Chains A and B, each alone.
Chain A
Amino acid sequence: MEGQNVEELLAKAERDEAEKLQRITVHKELELEFDLGNLLASDRNPPTGLRRAGPSPEAELQALARDNTQLLINQLWQLPTERVEEALVARLPEPTTRLPREKPVPRPRPLTRWQQFARLKGIRPKKKTNLVWDEVSGQWRRRWGYQRARDDTKEWLIEVPGGADPLEDQFAKRIQAKKERVAKNELNRLRNLARAHKMQLPSTAGMHPTGHQSKEELGRAMQVAKVSTASVGRFQERLPKEKAPRGSGKKRKFQPLFGDFAAEKKSQLELLRVMNSKKPQLDVTRATNKQMREEDQEEAAKRRKMSQKGKRKGGRQGAGGQRKGGPPSQGGKRKGGLGGKVNSGPPRLGGKRKGGQHQGGKRRK
């Protein structure tokens, strides 16, 4: 008897549950797609019920809207909720619909002068502690800012240094020095910013869809277009006032195989003289500096690659480092210390040596 009662009760409870759920369930052939971040629901089911309705389907539209809204509300009620000031608040996820932006994506800024240098040398930021022990006050104070550990401005006694004028105001001097440092920092910051803004313009040699391009880029795009004909731009006329582009022309100049015999003889003799002389033709200091710099760069690049592999920071290519590693490597192939050119060769090498030295001098900043 009692067993039957328990069973009946359970069955009744189940039926009640089903009834309750029926009030909020909606049957759809195809599930809706939800974008809860935008409170959006998309119903892909073809509106067959509405098609039969006729010219004014108000009631059917309302029924459809009610069903869809019920489904959306069901989804929203399943989100994690919290209580904020006596109201039940649901936390919305990120919107998933990709809507067009109002402005283009900001491009990555070029590195500042310090960042370039740090990259070159392989300097990485040292992790510093927030608090420093201050002997004077006998407590832990912050490194900089309000109530800092070693505050210069709070000193009431400054010793006059040995070589300074005894009548000079040391306090004023300190304040002045601080002002100068601040001004210099500000100047450098503005210079970095100006450089960044100059580089912010798109640097691809092509047309931008919205047409916001500078004269140089348009010029470059035009050059590329001019050269992309079947005869590589040989028969393209230039406009009357158009100037030839910078940086075009042969990159390496070779002397003709035979021509000027006198010049050839002179360069060969010069080569022999250099090889026989005991004095090194290299400026040793310059060469060693270049070599050191190259070694620093390689080490920095290797260290960065190791840390990148370890931390999995993808995408941050050593653009600065690699760019720097390009040109100096040409000149740096001369290993310092030895006298003159080790590899002799055709007469053109005489001209190249002279040119190489010149290039080295120029490139050494």
Chain B
Amino acid sequence: KSDWSLFMFGSHNKKQPNNLVIGHMYDYHVLDMIELGTEKFVSLKDIKNSKCFEGTKPMLIFAGDDFDVTEDYRRLKNLLIDLFRGPTVSNIRLAGLEYVLHFTALNGKIYFRGYKVLLKKSGCKTPRIELEEMGPSLDLVLRRTYLASDDLYKLSIKMPKSLKPKKKTNVSHDTFGTTYGRIHMQKQDLSKYKLGK
């Protein structure tokens, strides 16, 4: 009815205690659904300090090489980004970057921590960061997953041609990051120029 594409569902049964299901949808069908078990939970209220405003766009950090090894973890990372990134903005106030969500994949568990960012003076323009634990902290375990088939997933991340970066003629990019340009010169009559003494 409301046509939301992201959902989160919490439940508790004997077989799946402290369960959290997160998922996203494509074209009115469920794309991915991942079940996470919560092993430790500290809520916002339990941590007594000042919070940042509701609705600040959080910074997301994923640590650990596990997030790229398995397809499960990759989809989980994609889903978490989709869930937590907030609205897409083109400009952001640098002083307003207060909230950071840090996901660490370690030993089969995913540690979700939310920190408040304090920008301290450093000698140069870029500030030094100090963190204060603020937000909810969860220790998650990956339980069952329902992942979309590869072709449906490919269909869902397909970008229309208008959004793809435009290719400029006579400009090409290397895999190492070098940009090559091509200049077309007119024909030069070398006999006219005075070469050498």
| B50: min CB distance to chain A, Å | 17
Q: Report B25-45 CB contacts with A as 1/0, cut-off 8 Å.
A: 111110100000000000000
Taken together as a complex, chains A and B put the C-alpha atoms of A68 and B113 apart, in Å, by: 13
Interface residues of A in 67-110 (CB under 8 A from B): 68-70, 72-74, 76-77, 81-82, 84, 87-92, 95, 97-106
Q: What's the minimum C-beta distance from A313 to chain B, rounded to whole angstroms?
A: 12
Q: Are A106 and B160 neighbours in the complex by a CB distance under 8 Å?
A: yes
CB distance from A111 to the nearest CB of B (A): 18
Question: Does B90 interact with chain A (Cβ within 8 Å)?
Answer: yes
A61 is an interface residue with CB less than 8 A from chain B: yes
Would A45 and B60 count as touching, CB distance under 8 A? Answer: no
A40 near B81 with CB under 8 A, answer yes
Query: Which one of B58, B65, B149 contacts A45 once the chains associate, using CB atoms below 8 Å?
Result: B65
Interface size on A, residues (CB 8 A): 60
Q: Would B27 and A103 count as touching, CB distance under 8 A?
A: yes
Are the CB atoms of B157 and A99 closer together than 8 Å?
yes
**Residues of chain B contacted by A259 (CB below 8 angstroms):** none
Q: Which of B111, B128, B153 contacts A70 (CB 8 A)?
A: B128
Are A210 and B28 touching (Cβ within 8 A)?
yes
- A312 at the A/B interface (Cβ < 8 Å)? yes
Binds A, one of B11-19, B95-103, B180-188: B95-103
What A residues does B27 contact at CB under 8 A? 102-104, 210, 212
Flag B144-177 by CB within 8 Å of A: 1 or 0 each: 0000010111011111110000000100000000
Does B93 lie within 8 Å of A77, measured CB to CB? no
Give A95's nearest chain B residue, CB to CB: B88
Q: Confirm or deny: A292 has a beta carbon within 8 angstroms of a beta carbon on chain B.
A: no
Q: Are A69 and B100 in contact (CB under 8 A)?
A: yes
**Complex: A104 Cα to B159 Cα, angstroms:** 10
- Residues of A with C-beta under 8 A to B58: 39
Tell me whether A248 is interfacial, beta carbon within 8 Å: no
Query: Is B143 interfacial (CB-CB < 8 Å)?
Result: no
Asked if B94 is at the interface (CB within 8 A of a chain A CB), the reply is yes
Interface residue B191 (Cβ < 8 Å from any Cβ of A): no
A23 at the interface (CB under 8 A from B): yes
CB-CB under 8 A from A99, the residues of chain B are: 78, 81-82, 157
Q: A74 CA to B67 CA in the complex, in Å?
A: 23
Interfacial chain A residues near B138, Cβ < 8 Å: none
B6 to chain A: closest residue by CB? A102
- Separation of A16 and B124 alpha carbons in the complex (Å): 11
Known: A99-B82, A100-B78. A92 touches B89 (CB 8 A): yes
A205 on interface, CB distance cutoff 8 Å: no
- A308 sits at the interface (CB 8 A): no
CB within 8 Å for A69 and B117 given contacts A39-B85, A105-B158: yes
Contact A61-B127, Cβ < 8 Å, known A20-B122, A40-B85, A42-B67: no
Given A40-B85, A89-B93, answer yes or no on A69-B115 (Cβ-Cβ < 8 Å): yes
| Among A46-54, A145-153, A278-286, the stretch in contact with B | A46-54
Contact: A97 with B156, CB < 8 Å? no
A38 to B97, CA, bound (A): 12
Q: Which of B61, B94, B104, B106 contacts A76 (CB 8 A)?
A: B94
Q: Does A194 contact B (CB under 8 A)?
A: no
User: Does A64 sit at the interface, judged by CB under 8 A?
Assistant: yes
What's the nearest-Cβ distance from chain A to residue B149, in Å? 7
The interface residues of chain B lying within 8 Å CB-to-CB of A19 are 123
Known: A77-B94, A100-B156. A66 touches B59 (CB 8 A): no
Chain A min CB distance to B70 (Å):
14
Cross-chain contact B126 with A74 (CB below 8 angstroms): yes
8 Å CB contact of A61 from B82, B90, B104: B104
Q: Are A41 and B61 in contact (CB under 8 A)?
A: yes
Given contacts A40-B85, A84-B91, A209-B152, contact A100 B157 (CB under 8 A): yes
B90 touches A51 (CB 8 A): no
Given contacts A41-B61, A97-B81, A210-B27, 9 further A-B pairs with CB under 8 A are A40-B61, A45-B63, A57-B111, A65-B131, A68-B102, A73-B97, A77-B94, A77-B127, A98-B157
Q: Rank and list the top 5 A-B pairs by shortest CB-CB distance, nearest first.
A: A20-B123, A100-B156, A65-B102, A102-B5, A43-B63
- Interchain residue pairs with CB less than 8 A apart (6): A38-B81, A47-B63, A51-B107, A89-B92, A99-B82, A100-B156
- Where the two chains meet, the residues of B that have a C-beta atom closer than 8 Å to any C-beta of A are 5, 24-29, 31, 57-65, 67-68, 77-78, 81-82, 85, 88-95, 97, 100, 102, 104-107, 111, 113, 115, 117, 119, 122-131, 133, 149, 151-153, 155-161, 169
